[in-house]
Chains A and B, each alone.
Chain A
């Protein structure tokens, strides 16, 4: 009997080599997609974290001035009589851009190279230690390629400087991102034209009460190492959530695809297996053969998937990295690398899926009574009952989601808690809506109007089969619903956000031209302009007014924010500072705060801020709150005169806004500026408001590229689900359909059968998806955005997107049905012998 079993099973293999191949490919595709997203997301996560860590500098408490940089004299007071287990690392840094073919933004970091800190890694290629202290000497970061020693030109501020690369350094983690060029502290001070200044001091070791007292007496701020870690963790958490969702979706896709294809392969032989069982083949021998087959297919597919997944990951990593870079800040280069654990896990998962897919029909086969095995096809079990449990759970979850959303919007004050609760609300909302699917499918038979005519029987059969097979169809409808919900939800939120940003950029960029440095563009630590540039620009003909904006990073109540000095009156007159409340300042000691600043610190008009200043704290009264999407950390806007008075050492503007003489051609003045300013070759850019707005929107679009990737994968899952559920239905009902075909049902009738089911699934998925999407969008716009970024957005319906999804889904669903239609037509062709 065992030989017969083997012979019949292997005979089936010979008869259906394409089925086997398809199964192997299905496993490979599933494993590959899941693995590629996992590898890509992990490598980007590593790059992101190493980017954050390397930007944060060495671990430890950080001492910094409440605003801007500090006089290096403070260091003398701190270093004196220091505890033996404490080391202080003074640090100065500035953005540089490498010139030549591989342009990159790096940080020139001045550290005391005579006092090693175990912070940066190990020195490589250094032939003479003394050369570290030479003129313009720098140590270059070594990532993968060996660094060439010798002269190297970089743009520094608005100058081109020739650095002398005397060696390289290698981080302990070879793949960690190192954006820093290291130089000895005095040399970096000279290069950055900031002799006598340092940016911060990193404390390696514990901060004793005495050091703490000294630091406070000197007017410095201590950022505990834990607080920086917390900020990193918060950023990483949001980022991981996104990529985690992406990985999960991909894994689900892989598993669904694999199970479906394998399941179909095994399911098709259920009657053969049942007959063998009836003829005396033991459960053990049948299970053994089936499980061996499933395991083997899983293993082969897994091996193929490893190669496919690694290749796909290599392609996708850079795309995901760019998105993450735009979304969260600087990341390092990322490479997809497969670890032994990934290898084993992927293979184990593939084999497990193979075994599972084989076990399912085996178990089902053993339940079939021997008397039924004489039928050509084994009928499906009795129709399942109504899904009351699902419905009750779905309604309960929807209720819970509403409660969570309400409490996140109104009851909670901690932004972290709001995030968690709002995410909980989103998940329960999706699960709750999912819970309603079975009842809608089951009820579809009574909802759909009866048709009369030639094809009424087919129509009725299709609806009945769909209604009774709700277990089979719930997954595909759920996938469609989730895909629609994600596309609508994210799209509405992103569309609302984009519209707000575009509107704000249009309003706040009303000058004629803007001059800024390209270095560090898009980062909070962006480049600055030389102090004398504004005067030189003012002497260029046809420029009526030059309006500098100065920016200092400062800390207030343990939170970083930006202090900006700008000609408030001029900008207010042009309507560049849209007020959400209050009025524009009239006196030097009055300031505006952005919405994010007001929300983070619960500030209202009339409140007084003790702003950190070079000469101590400075009380500033808040007269108004302005709309701003430039910084989620918050900004305080003050007049230029007050800024110069408070921060006399801060003379480098971040940007210049130019107002031209009325009637002047903007492009002519722009050309004149480019021709007369030598700094242009070192990264200085002169842009029109239109170009700047496009740049803002470009950065915005890059930021949200990841969401489109998630949506794409979601849509792919949905379509795969739809296709697989159609084919599964055909496997179940093949016997019936063959009979109908022999009784004269046309090929068109068969197609109609499938389309009716697909139409029902798509309609329910779309209906629920539209509801879910808008609920998710409301949650994102009204709860998560204010909590995460501190700004509000007007909710804007996106009719074009809704229309796009509604019109896209049916043809795409139809496309997903094509394999099923083809198979059914082939299988039920009157000339074809019964299987």
Chain B
């Protein structure tokens, strides 16, 4: 059945290469595609019981093929961009950093066949069953070791996730929830051991959003009852959900559901306006999952988790650690990403 689906998919869905995802190969880069990202989000607790949220992202953006002569050592086939953030829940502080570099002269790299991507001193590297994340930054650093505890969660048929009504506008997409994390966090207060959980989101594509989409709300939820939830809501200019918005839910026993979220099952409950950009973001949600009658209440652990990435992508977005509650009871944790809520600034040179 799966093979049939894949074959159908390769015919039905242009841009899909028809191959089954294979690991660790697909943790590595896909140079045949224009854009790709590795997106780790997670929560950590240090030895003093202080809580943190973190985000580490590497984007790979292919460059036009180089045929010009004479060749320069600086000629590159891609640019790697990195965003990293650390939210310190206990002291309500959020910091982020960004980097960019070309895949030449040792400034950045992204390897195929296995996970190895980096820009400058930032790197993510797979060593047997461990993923090593090293993010040294000016004021803070992450040095983490991640291990798989569940197999990857595939989104869409043959891991093809459509991003518009056009069949060819989509991406290959999988997530890897519940990665166990241990390592070190370094802040102004020194280097502390920390443990926690993380979520990896992987996508690669050669197309962008469709013409109707102006932004998205993305949720990853790791629930205490063993369920893993990924929801992306694509919005149009009026804030309406596009029909191709999707939700994926995997039970602890491996059963999988996907559904189309609507305003009835997912809606903001509060808003927050950034003092930095003036952009108004949703800052609390009510989500009813398939099969549930009681909504999950999602709330940011920190209000200000906005990234203004003028040095790299030029995009201003909100990405941060959230808690999930059902009534008065904690129900899990997650990450939310909100894009397209305001005008982004001009990229810096």
Which A residues are within 8 Å of any B CB, using their own CB? 72, 75-76, 79-82, 84-85, 111-124, 126, 129-130, 133-135, 139, 169-170, 182, 184-186, 189-190, 195-196
Do A79 and B347 have beta carbons less than 8 Å apart? no
Do B105 and A79 have beta carbons less than 8 Å apart? yes
Contact-size category for B = 20 to 34
- Can you name the residue of chain A whose Cβ is closest to the Cβ of B140? A84
- Can you name the residue of chain A whose Cβ is closest to the Cβ of B119? A115
B282 contacts the other chain (CB 8 A) = no
Do B349 and A133 have beta carbons less than 8 Å apart? no
Which residues of A sit under 8 angstroms from B72, Cβ to Cβ?
185-186, 189-190, 195-196
B247 contacts the other chain (CB 8 A) = no
Q: How far is the CA of A126 from the CA of B346 in the complex (A)?
A: 9
Q: How far is the CA of A737 from the CA of B169 in the complex (A)?
A: 101
Which residues of B sit under 8 angstroms from A122, Cβ to Cβ?
310, 345-349
- A134: contacting residue among B64, B70, B100, B312, CB under 8 A: B64
What is the minimal beta-carbon distance from B62 to any residue of chain A, in angstroms?
8
* Other contacts beyond A117-B349, A122-B346, A123-B348: 4, CB < 8 A: A76-B106, A114-B76, A130-B64, A186-B73
A-B contact pairs, 25 of them (CB 8 A): A75-B105, A79-B105, A79-B120, A84-B121, A84-B137, A84-B141, A112-B107, A114-B76, A114-B102, A114-B108, A115-B101, A116-B311, A117-B349, A120-B349, A122-B349, A123-B349, A124-B346, A126-B347, A130-B64, A133-B64, A135-B68, A169-B349, A184-B74, A185-B74, A195-B70
- B348: contacting residue among A85, A118, A185, A190, CB under 8 A: A118
Q: How far is the CA of A123 from the CA of B74 in the complex (A)?
A: 21
What is the minimal beta-carbon distance from B20 to any residue of chain A, in angstroms?
31
- Can you name the residue of chain A whose Cβ is closest to the Cβ of B141? A84
Within 8 A of A (CB), among B133-157: 136-138, 141
Q: How far is the CA of A833 from the CA of B108 in the complex (A)?
A: 96
B75 contacts the other chain (CB 8 A) = yes
> Of B70, B76, B348, which is in contact with the most chain A CB atoms at under 10 Å from its CB?
B348
Q: How far is the CA of A303 from the CA of B97 in the complex (A)?
A: 52
Do A114 and B101 have beta carbons less than 8 Å apart? yes
Do B348 and A121 have beta carbons less than 8 Å apart? yes
What is the minimal beta-carbon distance from B344 to any residue of chain A, in angstroms?
11
Per CB-CB distance, the 3 closest pairs between chain A and chain B, nearest first, are A186-B72, A84-B136, A122-B346
Q: How far is the CA of A195 from the CA of B121 in the complex (A)?
A: 26
Which residues of A sit under 8 angstroms from B61, Cβ to Cβ?
129-130
B3 contacts the other chain (CB 8 A) = no
Do B73 and A196 have beta carbons less than 8 Å apart? yes
Q: How far is the CA of A115 from the CA of B312 in the complex (A)?
A: 8
Do B346 and A113 have beta carbons less than 8 Å apart? no
B198 contacts the other chain (CB 8 A) = no
Which residues of B sit under 8 angstroms from A114, Cβ to Cβ?
76, 79, 100-102, 107-108
Do A116 and B312 have beta carbons less than 8 Å apart? yes
Q: How far is the CA of A180 from the CA of B275 in the complex (A)?
A: 35
Q: How far is the CA of A37 from the CA of B194 in the complex (A)?
A: 65
Which residues of A sit under 8 angstroms from B252, Cβ to Cβ?
none
Which residues of A sit under 8 angstroms from B64, Cβ to Cβ?
130, 133-134
Q: How far is the CA of A305 from the CA of B71 in the complex (A)?
A: 62
B63 contacts the other chain (CB 8 A) = yes
Which residues of A sit under 8 angstroms from B346, Cβ to Cβ?
122-124, 170
Do B106 and A116 have beta carbons less than 8 Å apart? no
- Can you name the residue of chain A whose Cβ is closest to the Cβ of B135? A84
Which residues of B sit under 8 angstroms from A133, Cβ to Cβ?
63-64
- A72: contacting residue among B73, B79, B99, B120, CB under 8 A: B73
- B107: contacting residue among A115, A170, A189, A190, CB under 8 A: A115
What is the minimal beta-carbon distance from A717 to any residue of chain B, in angstroms?
48
Which residues of A sit under 8 angstroms from B100, Cβ to Cβ?
114-116
Could you give, for residues 316-349 of chain B, a 1 whenever the CB lies within 8 Å of some chain A CB and a 0 otherwise?
Answer: 0000000000000000000000000000011111
What is the minimal beta-carbon distance from B218 to any residue of chain A, in angstroms?
23
Which residues of B sit under 8 angstroms from A111, Cβ to Cβ?
349
Q: How far is the CA of A276 from the CA of B58 in the complex (A)?
A: 89
Which residues of A sit under 8 angstroms from B102, Cβ to Cβ?
112, 114-115
Could you give, for residues 102-121 of chain B, a 1 whenever the CB lies within 8 Å of some chain A CB and a 0 otherwise?
Answer: 10011110000000000011
Q: How far is the CA of A113 from the CA of B74 in the complex (A)?
A: 11
Which residues of B sit under 8 angstroms from A79, Cβ to Cβ?
105-107, 120
What is the minimal beta-carbon distance from B29 to any residue of chain A, in angstroms?
16
**Chain B contact residues: helix, strand, loop or mixed:** loop
Using known A-B contacts A114-B76, A134-B64, A185-B74, determine if residue A84 contacts B138 with beta carbons closer than 8 Å: yes
Which residues of A sit under 8 angstroms from B76, Cβ to Cβ?
114
What is the minimal beta-carbon distance from A93 to any residue of chain B, in angstroms?
15
Which residues of A sit under 8 angstroms from B71, Cβ to Cβ?
195
Q: How far is the CA of A134 from the CA of B65 in the complex (A)?
A: 10
- Can you name the residue of chain A whose Cβ is closest to the Cβ of B108? A114
Do A80 and B106 have beta carbons less than 8 Å apart? yes
What is the minimal beta-carbon distance from A23 to any residue of chain B, in angstroms?
53
- Can you name the residue of chain A whose Cβ is closest to the Cβ of B71? A195
Could you give, for residues 43-85 of chain B, a 1 whenever the CB lies within 8 Å of some chain A CB and a 0 otherwise?
Answer: 0000000000000000001011000101111111001000000
Do B138 and A72 have beta carbons less than 8 Å apart? no
Which residues of A sit under 8 angstroms from B99, Cβ to Cβ?
115
Which residues of A sit under 8 angstroms from B107, Cβ to Cβ?
79, 112, 114-115
Which residues of B sit under 8 angstroms from A72, Cβ to Cβ?
73-74, 105
What is the minimal beta-carbon distance from B316 to any residue of chain A, in angstroms?
14
Which residues of A sit under 8 angstroms from B312, Cβ to Cβ?
116
Q: How far is the CA of A134 from the CA of B63 in the complex (A)?
A: 9
Q: How far is the CA of A118 from the CA of B311 in the complex (A)?
A: 7
Which residues of B sit under 8 angstroms from A124, Cβ to Cβ?
346
Which residues of B sit under 8 angstroms from A118, Cβ to Cβ?
311, 348-349
What is the minimal beta-carbon distance from B275 to any residue of chain A, in angstroms?
21
Which residues of A sit under 8 angstroms from B138, Cβ to Cβ?
84-85
Which residues of B sit under 8 angstroms from A75, Cβ to Cβ?
105
What is the minimal beta-carbon distance from B345 to any residue of chain A, in angstroms?
7
> Of B74, B120, B136, B138, which is in contact with the most chain A CB atoms at under 10 Å from its CB?
B74
What is the minimal beta-carbon distance from B287 to any residue of chain A, in angstroms?
35
Which residues of B sit under 8 angstroms from A185, Cβ to Cβ?
72, 74
- Can you name the residue of chain B whose Cβ is closest to the Cβ of A113? B349
Q: How far is the CA of A512 from the CA of B4 in the complex (A)?
A: 85
- Can you name the residue of chain A whose Cβ is closest to the Cβ of B72? A186
Do B70 and A190 have beta carbons less than 8 Å apart? yes
- Can you name the residue of chain A whose Cβ is closest to the Cβ of B121? A84
What is the minimal beta-carbon distance from A122 to any residue of chain B, in angstroms?
4
Q: How far is the CA of A118 from the CA of B346 in the complex (A)?
A: 12
Q: How far is the CA of A124 from the CA of B349 in the complex (A)?
A: 10
Do A76 and B70 have beta carbons less than 8 Å apart? no
What is the minimal beta-carbon distance from A811 to any residue of chain B, in angstroms?
60
Which residues of A sit under 8 angstroms from B137, Cβ to Cβ?
84
Do B105 and A116 have beta carbons less than 8 Å apart? no
- Can you name the residue of chain B whose Cβ is closest to the Cβ of A111? B349
Do B74 and A186 have beta carbons less than 8 Å apart? yes
Which residues of B sit under 8 angstroms from A182, Cβ to Cβ?
349
Within 8 A of A (CB), among B212-235: none
What is the minimal beta-carbon distance from A110 to any residue of chain B, in angstroms?
9
Q: How far is the CA of A258 from the CA of B295 in the complex (A)?
A: 81
What is the minimal beta-carbon distance from B75 to any residue of chain A, in angstroms?
5
> Of B73, B108, B141, which is in contact with the most chain A CB atoms at under 10 Å from its CB?
B73
What is the minimal beta-carbon distance from B127 to any residue of chain A, in angstroms?
19
What is the minimal beta-carbon distance from A132 to any residue of chain B, in angstroms?
9
What is the minimal beta-carbon distance from A203 to any residue of chain B, in angstroms?
14
Which residues of A sit under 8 angstroms from B74, Cβ to Cβ?
72, 112, 184-186, 189
- B349: contacting residue among A121, A190, A195, CB under 8 A: A121
Which residues of B sit under 8 angstroms from A195, Cβ to Cβ?
70-72
Which residues of A sit under 8 angstroms from B63, Cβ to Cβ?
130, 133
- Can you name the residue of chain A whose Cβ is closest to the Cβ of B346? A122
What is the minimal beta-carbon distance from B209 to any residue of chain A, in angstroms?
16
- Can you name the residue of chain B whose Cβ is closest to the Cβ of A184? B74
Q: How far is the CA of A248 from the CA of B79 in the complex (A)?
A: 55
Which residues of A sit under 8 angstroms from B141, Cβ to Cβ?
84
Which residues of B sit under 8 angstroms from A82, Cβ to Cβ?
120-121
Which residues of A sit under 8 angstroms from B345, Cβ to Cβ?
122
Q: How far is the CA of A124 from the CA of B314 in the complex (A)?
A: 12
